[in-house]
Structure 1
Amino acid sequence: MRLILVDDEKGIVDGLKKMIGRYLPECKVVGVAHNGLEGVKLIQKLQPDVVITDIRMPQADGLDMIQMLRDEGSKAKFILLSGYADFEYARRGMQLGVQFYINKPVEEEQLRDCVHQVMETIQTDRAKLREVDDLKQEVHSRKQESALRDMLDVGSENAELMEELLQAAQLPTDGASFACILLEFDGHADALKEMSFQQVLCKIDLALKPYRGVYRFRYSGSQVAVVVSHSGAIGYGDLVHRIKTLKEGVYRDLKLSMTVGIGTVQKRAAGISQSFEEARYALSYKVVKGLDTVIPYPEIMDLNERSHPVPEELEAKLEAGLDNMDEVECVGTIREIFRWMEGEPSMSPAELQLQCLNILLSSVRKMSFQQLQQNDFLGRHILSLEGIARFRTLERLEEWMIQVIRRMIAFKLEHNIPKKKDMITQIKDYLSKHYNESISLAELAARFFISPYYLSQFFKQKTGDTYVNYLAQLRIGKAKELLEKTDLKVYEICQLVGYSDTQHFARLFEKLTGCKPSEYRRNLPKL
């Protein structure tokens, strides 16, 4: 503890210094003043924890000094040196919040006990402040994570909503670059237990420490999303290198294997969702690149550019058959695709194998992480170049593809996964019953055994609105009903419709209705 002594009698000051040095080794006298005005300047400069001051001094007495320091916001604790005749001074001291007094002449035991009491008070106050700060930080982190999660899922085309979410996330955007990363840990959803999860977050922070901002959180099951921001440019090669080093360190120290997709660097915050879509897309190519790999998005683009693309109409036809679990349609389409491949004599066996994977990827990419984990047939030994390498002829590849497609349809039927034409209806029905819960796109996708990326695209295609915007409209609609039919306070309604941040709720309400929640209630027609 840092102490300052203020007394106009040098002998008392010297005596206090000796006693403190002898009986209070945890304290250090950092300064001495001999009148109130001198004390004010010294205390403002050195910001001590404790001040022991006489009451009666020239220029400004001890209480005047305390008053001036309190007016300036000083947080120091004061101990008054007072005689038995100084009762009026003591009463004024209490009004100033002074709790501690030492009677003159000062005795060692009294000084030690009084300073120890002050130290305990200071430590208790600091502990309370830390609790408040920790709580504030936790609330801020939760709000930021919620906004970031929505930013990742909302889609890059919704600029207006993106601005709202950027404001809620409090991300610095001036002159900044951004990139997104998606980590997926090998194993089931429990692979990241709470302790190992915190250790992984620490590893991420350490690996990406040179960047100005690193925001990371559990995205879904065994997936961790990372948003990196930096003032100026982000070197993509350096970012990929750091992620590879992170992957090696996580396996070495935590014995966790992970596969990583890395999106491209974006020069504006509105591109964050695009970079995340790219990271998610890159990660889906683990069936080509293998597990326990780092997959930058540009590598996937290069891979696709080198391959012979199957006609889009045939891919769309296969996709429709899978979505509606029509085995006859799917098998027929596979036959058509292979007849087309027979007409491409320049394709090598390796290219044929890769082409089969690319055909399946359009379907596998729609499957959720949980679905892939549960479907053993679509595990690492089937959807991999090593697995396909066994089939060197078109005929055997064709039969293998049909077998995979049949297994995918059987899995969907076994788990009661809705057909494409029914899925949006079921999702809307689920949201109408659970709108007041924290429902991220990733969590919703896992519930319906579909990948978040595909759900985001499909939802927008079928409803004309993003998932995030649809949920916001639903919640605000429920909030309007509560404002109309109840006397609940705005913050209570905010929580009842699924929001934790009242300010964000009020801004969103005003944006979607044109007025604040309180104004909406005030303008309701009188019955």
Structure 2
Amino acid sequence: MLKILLVDDEALERKAIGKMIQKGMEGVEVIGEAPNGRRAVELAVELKPDIIFMDIKMPGMDGVQAVKEIKKLGPVIKFIMVSAFNTFEYAKEVMQQGVKEYILKPSRKQDILEALGRVAAEIQEERKQKEEQQSLRENLNRAVSIAQKEWVSSRIINQVQDITFEEWGQLLGVEITTGYIMLFSLHSKGQKEFTITEKQKWYTWLKEALHLVVKKQEFMIGPLIESQVPVLFLWKKTNEKLLFKSLSQYVIESILSLYQKESFHAELRIGVGHPYNHAYELNKSYHEAVMALNHLMKTPNQKYLIGVKQTDTQEKSTFASEILEMEKKLLEAVRQGDVNKVLFLFDSFITKHQSSLKIEASVVKKSFDELFILISRMLHDLGVNVERTPVVNQLEEVAVMLETGKAHLISIVQSVQQWRTNHAKGMLQKAKDYIESNYAESITLESVAEYVELSPFYFSKLFKDRFGMTFIDYLTDIRIKEAKTLMEDPTKSLKEICYSIGYKDPNYFSRVFKKLAGSSPSEFRKAVIKE
């Protein structure tokens, strides 16, 4: 319902216009009348009308001045000017205020209703655009949030290298050339395991606390796996080590201070990796953050540690880099469910540890734990449920420790194979059916992934592996095929066909159609009709 305010120094004129409006148009309501410009300003503030019929010549504050004052208070209000003076100067002055409608007295009913109809249509269109923009912003924010979480996960396991710091900077509107990982870990004070509800409550709190504390840096929050949350901090390039540590320390101490006011009945520990200048190096920062947390286990009174690098000897450094590369290949083999490749790579993993006699058992255990944490993260995103990471005693011999892991890894691969054969196959078919039934709607990769309960990142990978094309290519192919069929009906306009298959922009539809079909929609239709 559109609200209308009538402003005229003649009461009979106000009554006459009000009667014409109420009887001649639906969806509008006259909510008030004013005899002069000053009272019009007061009622505009009080009643918040959508449209004001404004007389120009009135005693005291005239209509032009009233429009200027009301524009300052409510710029979205629309005006229809009414005057007995058919002069260019009056029209020019109100047009400068953005007023488009100007009616001469005595006013004809047709003129009033036509002017009102045009303004009402303009308001409705503006509201529609505002709603679409709001929806677009919400969808964009949601998509960016999902993308950030998936990207942090992929950076940790070093799976993809298709988005750089520069590209994220363009998306976020800031310059970004450096990043590092801060790993937040929740530790029970006793033997009690955290419930899913407790973990989710802490995860929600952590996200809110980070948004409250972090002001000078961009950051992306990763997924909650078990009781750990990786957070990627992005910032402008700097070589000043002290600046990195001071900023990290400020964030950590602020978070810990806020945490003390909560009642989670658990200890919060934070490990921080070093900053790196390339996205593909972020997994190094993650491993450094993990090492920092491991070091904190030996010092219970210390809550955080910034920047622990494995630089004791060249041998350890080489060993770590080789193990890192093995982990990367092993994770991909597990994801593919390739048991032969997994066994070969894990044998290499075992051989490498057994041949490194100078590597302490504690270092081996860290490597062992990190591997299965990474696998756990990947499987969580993939939607595969497996048993918890095997528990090993640090005093066990390396060979025994790694053989235990091998047996557990084989069971994981078997679970992945079964999931890919049954669950994933069914999910992908379900996704395909959903796309074919809803291609005319505004569906996205994220919405389809959510429908089949898969991570968008892995849904995208699995979909391409299974069907040989990306999700967007498949959706586009379906839409264009349907467009070709509809073009055989000469009663349907190209614009109507465009909207009916899920496109909102006819120009964009035309470009996509020409790219796939080799000719424009109009050219294609002419050829079809000729045949």
- For Structure 1 versus Structure 2, the TM-score category normalised by the shorter chain is 0.5 to 0.7
- Aligned: 1:137 with 2:134: yes
CA–CA separation in structure 2 for the residues paired with 1:492 and 1:62: 44
Compared CA separation, residues 254 and 526, structure 1 to 2 (3 A): farther
CA–CA separation in structure 1 for the residues paired with 2:206 and 2:346: 42
CA–CA separation in structure 2 for the residues paired with 1:492 and 1:143: 27
CA–CA separation in structure 2 for the residues paired with 1:296 and 1:453: 31
Displacement after TM superposition at 1:388 (Å): 3.8
Question: 5+ residue gaps in structure 2?
Answer: 10-34, 48-55, 155-159, 186-193, 298-302
Displacement after TM superposition at 1:345 (Å): 1.5
Displacement after TM superposition at 1:133 (Å): 2.9
Equivalent position to 1:40, from 64, 67, 76:
64
- Aligned: 1:408 with 2:412: yes
Residue by residue, what CA displacement relative to the aligned partner does 1:498-517 show, whole Å, maximum 9, x if unpaired?
77777766655555566655
Q: In structure 1, what residue type is equivalent to 2:135?
A: E
Secondary structure of the structure 1 residue equivalent to 2:484: helix
Percent identity of the aligned residues?
A: 12
Secondary structure of the structure 2 residue equivalent to 1:342: helix
Partner of 1:526: 530
CA–CA separation in structure 2 for the residues paired with 1:242 and 1:511: 49
Displacement after TM superposition at 1:23 (Å): 11
Q: Which has the higher contact order (CA 8 A, sep 6+)?
A: 1
- Aligned: 1:377 with 2:379: no
Residue by residue, what CA displacement relative to the aligned partner does 1:292-346 show, whole Å, maximum 9, x if unpaired?
x99999979989957543496798589758854649x867875664444332221
Compared CA separation, residues 94 and 147, structure 1 to 2 (3 A): same
Compared CA separation, residues 96 and 233, structure 1 to 2 (3 A): farther
Task: Tell me if structure 1 keeps the 8 A contact 2:182–2:270.
Answer: yes
Partner of 1:106: none
Displacement after TM superposition at 1:266 (Å): 10
CA–CA separation in structure 2 for the residues paired with 1:226 and 1:516: 47
Displacement after TM superposition at 1:136 (Å): 2.8
- Aligned: 1:73 with 2:84: no
Q: In structure 1, what residue type is equivalent to 2:138?
A: S
Q: What's the C-alpha RMSD, in Å, of the aligned pairs? A: 7.3
CA–CA separation in structure 1 for the residues paired with 2:223 and 2:124: 29
Task: Tell me if structure 2 keeps the 8 A contact 1:368–1:452.
Answer: no
Displacement after TM superposition at 1:398 (Å): 3.0
Partner of 2:401: 397
Aligned pairs, how many? 448
Partner of 2:366: 354
Compared CA separation, residues 33 and 410, structure 1 to 2 (3 A): same
Compared CA separation, residues 492 and 67, structure 1 to 2 (3 A): same
Task: Tell me if structure 2 keeps the 8 A contact 1:183–1:224.
Answer: yes
Equivalent position to 2:106, from 85, 88, 94:
88
Task: Tell me if structure 2 keeps the 8 A contact 1:264–1:298.
Answer: yes
CA–CA separation in structure 1 for the residues paired with 2:419 and 2:90: 75
Task: Tell me if structure 2 keeps the 8 A contact 1:145–1:217.
Answer: no
Which residues in structure 2 correspond to 1:48-447 (within 5 Å)? 65=90, 68-69=93-94, 72-74=97-99, 88=106, 94=112, 133-143=130-140, 145-146=142-143, 156-157=161-162, 171=171, 205-209=211-215, 238=247, 242=251, 245=254, 274=279, 278=282, 282=286, 289=293, 305=317, 307-308=319-320, 309-310=322-323, 320=333, 323-324=336-337, 326=339, 337-360=349-372, 363-364=375-376, 366-369=378-381, 371=383, 374-378=385-389, 382=390, 387-409=391-413, 411-412=415-416, 416-418=418-420, 432-436=432-436, 438=443, 440=445, 444=449
Question: 5+ residue gaps in structure 1?
Answer: 8-14, 81-85, 100-121
Displacement after TM superposition at 1:284 (Å): 13
Which residues in structure 2 correspond to 1:497-508 (within 5 Å)? 508=512
Which TM-score applies when normalising by structure 1? 0.53
Which TM-score applies when normalising by structure 2? 0.52
Task: Tell me if structure 1 keeps the 8 A contact 2:483–2:498.
Answer: no
